[in-house]
């Protein structure tokens, strides 16, 4: 019978677990992950507000809707709009604001001064933790973001197979992306690492990613199923079966009991929440206020204006599962453990 209790696996063992398809074995995998989550944090689930404040980008990632060459409507929100949306999210009960951007040349030109001011307001006036997802920035900018008080630097490698990376993040440097997050960690920020499922990776690649996440000391780890985007080179590629994402979530939970692991509403909307929590996720991400004009990434509009991506909606589903959203103080305590 499948023994997952040790929590440490060789690469071969990880590959074997990723190969599981027997219903009873899958149930053991998900039950083990869930019981670890409950042991760590009882009935609490964390929640992040998502503020995608500029959709301009200098890069051409093959999987992304916002890639430079895609002829789409873009926006760059004002400071007032960004702060207003952040405040709305905080008042609705999120634990953190994830300030996310395309690699917008305009912000690079002004060396992130506006972003620094926004981080300071959310931290000092709204007393709320901040994650910054700016793409790759140089060390000098990381210094500024850390000094402004950003708690987290999120930067997903997507894969730890260099050949596959080259195909996905065409024209970008693997080491530069990796080193940016290592430097942020060295500067005392918490870091999030992530991978994409369904982009041509093998189980061996996934096992490598799972191990690397631990080696680099990521405190938050994620997987998102690839969602095809109109107008992008991968438009015709299929979205993968969600079982793959669920297995990866469960394995991340078992390997890294204290990690924050997102159930992202950005893949299947609010209807995807329950399965991800049941696989061992402990954090709801991509909460976006309805009618705010802010977008998601993989699902740029799904459930947003309908009010589906809200703390309120999530609470209803969690209550049915005997779970609840954590308070901001509970979240702050958890990340300082
Ligand atoms: N521009 C920054 C960057 O790339 O690091 C931050 C935001 S970026 C839009 C955030 C992440 O969204 C990407 O790293 C990728 O993992 C995910 N993503 C983008 N397009 C996706 C898609 N089509 N399907 C699933 N995830 C996607
Ligand atoms: C999410 N749409 O949490 C967001 C995004 C960026 N740090 C996060 C991918 O699913
Ligand atoms: Fe730009 Fe990020 Fe999209 Fe890549 S994933 S094209 S860096 S917004």
Taking the CA of 72 as reference, the closest ligand is 3
Can you list the residues of the chain whose pLDDT is less than 50? none
Q: What is the CATH number of the domain that holds 243?
A: 3.20.20.70
pLDDT in tens, 184-231: 999 999 999 999 999 999 999 999 999 999 999 999 999 999 999 999
- On whether residue 83 sits in a domain, the answer given is yes
- On whether residue 5 sits in a domain, the answer given is no
pLDDT at 15: 97
- On whether residue 182 sits in a domain, the answer given is yes
**Domain enclosing residue 294, as ranges:** 11-335
Question: Using the 8-state DSSP alphabet, how is residue 122 labeled?
Answer: I
- On whether residue 4 sits in a domain, the answer given is no
Cα separation of 145 and 180, whole Å?
12
- On whether residue 307 sits in a domain, the answer given is yes
Taking the CA of 286 as reference, the closest ligand is 2
pLDDT at 5: 82
- On whether residue 197 sits in a domain, the answer given is yes
pLDDT at 1: 58
pLDDT at 3: 80
Total residues found in the chain within this entry: 337
**Tokens read off for 64:** 């992304």
State the distance from the centre of ligand 1 to the C-alpha of 78, rounded, in angstroms.
22
**Tokens read off for 101:** 């951007």
Question: In testing the pocket of ligand 1, which one of 72, 115, 218, 298 has its CB within 8 Å of the most ligand atoms?
Answer: 298
Task: Give the number of domains in the chain.
Answer: 1
State the distance from the centre of ligand 1 to the C-alpha of 298, rounded, in angstroms.
7
State the distance from the centre of ligand 2 to the C-alpha of 95, rounded, in angstroms.
15
Q: Label residue 162 exposed, middle or buried (CB < 10 Å: 0-12, 13-18, 19+).
A: exposed
pLDDT at 89: 98
CB proximity list for 27: less than 8 A, separation 6 or greater = none
Cα separation of 144 and 146, whole Å?
5
pLDDT at 36: 97
State the distance from the centre of ligand 2 to the C-alpha of 143, rounded, in angstroms.
23
Question: Using the 8-state DSSP alphabet, how is residue 295 labeled?
Answer: -
Q: Which of 203, 197, 165 is nearest to 11 (CA)?
A: 203
pLDDT at 6: 85
- On whether residue 6 sits in a domain, the answer given is no
Asked if 204 contacts 175 with a C-beta cutoff of 8 angstroms, the reply is no
- On whether residue 285 sits in a domain, the answer given is yes
Residue bearing the CA closest to ligand 2, atom 9: 297
Biggest CA–CA distance in the chain, Å, is 58
Does the interface ipTM go beyond 0.95?
yes
């Amino acid at each position: 019978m499948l023994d997952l209790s040790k929590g440490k696996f060789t690469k071969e063992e990880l590959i074997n677990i990723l190969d599981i398809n027997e219903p009873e074995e899958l149930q053991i995998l998900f039950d083990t992950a869930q019981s670890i989550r409950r042991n760590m944090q009882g009935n609490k689930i964390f929640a992040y507000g998502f503020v995608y404040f500029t959709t301009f980008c200098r890069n051409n990632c093959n999987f992304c809707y916002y890639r430079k060459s895609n002829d789409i409507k873009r926006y760059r929100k004002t400071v007032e709009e960004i702060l207003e949306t952040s405040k709305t999210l905080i008042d609705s009960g999120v634990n953190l604001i994830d300030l996310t951007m395309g690699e917008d040349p305009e912000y690079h030109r002004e060396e992130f001064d506006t972003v620094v001011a926004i981080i300071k307001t959310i931290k000092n006036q709204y007393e709320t933790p901040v994650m910054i997802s700016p793409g790759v920035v140089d060390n000098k900018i990381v210094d500024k973001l850390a000094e402004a008080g950003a708690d987290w630097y999120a930067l997903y490698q997507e894969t730890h197979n260099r050949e596959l990376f080259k195909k996905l993040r065409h024209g970008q440097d693997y080491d530069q992306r990796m080193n940016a997050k290592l430097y942020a960690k060295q500067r005392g920020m918490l870091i999030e690492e992530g991978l994409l499922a369904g982009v041509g990776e093998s189980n061996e690649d996934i096992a490598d990613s799972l191990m690397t996440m631990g080696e680099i000391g990521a405190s938050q780890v994620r997987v998102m199923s690839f969602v095809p985007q109109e107008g992008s080179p991968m438009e015709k590629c299929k979205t993968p079966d969600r079982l793959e994402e669920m297995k990866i979530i469960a394995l991340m939970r078992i390997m890294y009991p204290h990690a924050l692991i997102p159930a992202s509403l950005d893949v299947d909307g609010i209807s995807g929440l329950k399965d991800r929590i049941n696989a061992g996720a402990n954090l709801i991400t991509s909460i976006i206020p309805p009618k705010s004009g802010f977008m998601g990434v993989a699902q740029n509009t799904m459930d947003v204006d309908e009010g589906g991506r809200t703390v309120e909606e999530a609470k209803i589903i969690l209550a049915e599962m005997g779970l609840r959203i954590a308070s901001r103080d509970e979240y702050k305590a958890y990340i300082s453990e």
